[in-house]
Amino acid sequence: MNKEFKFNQSFQIESGRELESLTIAYSDYNETNAQKVIWVCHALSGNSEVMEWWSGLFGEGKMFDPSEYRIICANVIGSCYGSSSPKDFERPVDFPILTIKDIVKAHALLADELGLEKIDVLIGASLGGQQALEWSILQPNRFDKLILIATNAFHSPYARAFNEVQRLALQADSTYGQKGGGYSGLKAARAIAMLSYRSYEDFSLKQSESENRSDDFKAASYVRYQGEKFVSRFDPHSYFILTKAMDSHDILRNRNGNYDEVLKTISATTLVIGIDSDFLFPLSEQRLLADSIPKATLGIIESPFGHDSFLIDYEKLDKLISDFLKRDAELLNQHNNLNTNYKIEQQK
């Protein structure tokens, strides 16, 4: 499943700098027999192995079964899972700052290489949703259906501030900038990030104390553990680059018109999914998308888990997406009367 695409030409990015060449690591499941194609855009720390990190939706017998779909997921450039990244540089900090549009243009090169003039479903959550949105604007005729989960038209000042705090933690590590360095800073950065990925209710449910402690609290242990686990699989300099890319996200940059006008250029039939406890990507951001994309439906997942609900509440996500793909508007609207812990707020 793991493959590699080499683009042996210079690749110009939005900043004006160039990468001499590109490597894109990707997975391509059932490339010969499937009737439909789905392209998955992964989130910040994801990789191309979508069957592993999104196993609630992808796999045999799941919503997106490789017996029915050709499933493609490409590791974003700047990441540390096989695509061009800071690890390729003697001084990792010399790797150029990327934007979401740069990442999407690299995806488009791979799609061209694979001969995919038309993609049936484009899906992404969080930073993955930012990629999917940008791509659907850059190449609106390429996609039939678009699924945007816990994402936005521009990265908010609040979310950018959260990312900057994480980068400050990275740079406070004296070894950051050196090849093989920065891991203590990455541990702290990831611990900070967990506060934005979950919610007050989630921490109250899972990290409350059963006895009256004065120290060594579960919540503290949890974020330390998340930081320690993360440094075993991710690269500090990639983390810096990808948080910067996320901050760059704004579909108005170098385009004419306002958000409503730019979003109206999307031609794909679209499902926008928001999470009621997500304060990093609040529902107002998904409502903006659904209000302006011409053929859009807004579905809301009610969950205590915050932004990470798209990786946890599979049953709710599965049902929303399944009904959307069936294109049964009556069934979608019935969910307001069912005990499903999600609802359809808007149907166009």
Active site residues: 126, 278, 307
**C-alpha dihedral sign at 40, 323, 268, 302:** negative
Judge whether 265 and 140 are in contact, CB under 8 Å. Answer: yes
Q: Are 237 and 86 in contact (CB under 8 A)?
A: yes
- What SS3 state is found at 175? coil
List, in sequence order, every residue forming a beta bridge with 33; answer none if it has no partner: none
| Centroid of chain to Cα 224 | 24
d(CA 278, CA 275): 5
> How, if at all, do strands 143-149 and 69-74 pair?
unpaired
Cβ neighbourhood burial of 96 (10 Å; 0-12, 13-18, 19+): middle
Strand order across the beta sheet in which 2-7 lies: 2-7, 22-29, 69-74, 36-41, 119-125, 143-149, 269-275, 296-301, 342-347
Count the alpha carbons within 13 Å of 101 in the hemisphere toward its beta carbon.
18
Terminal Cα distance for the chain, rounded:
38
Q: Under a CB-based contact definition with an 8 Å cutoff, are residues 98 and 245 in contact?
A: yes
Residue appearing with tokens 């027999």: 33
Residue 224 burial (10 A CB sphere; 0-12, 13-18, 19+): middle
Q: What is the dihedral of CA 333, 337, 340, 342, to 10 degrees?
A: 50
| 37 vs 113: CA distance, rounded Å | 15
SS3 label, residue 101? helix
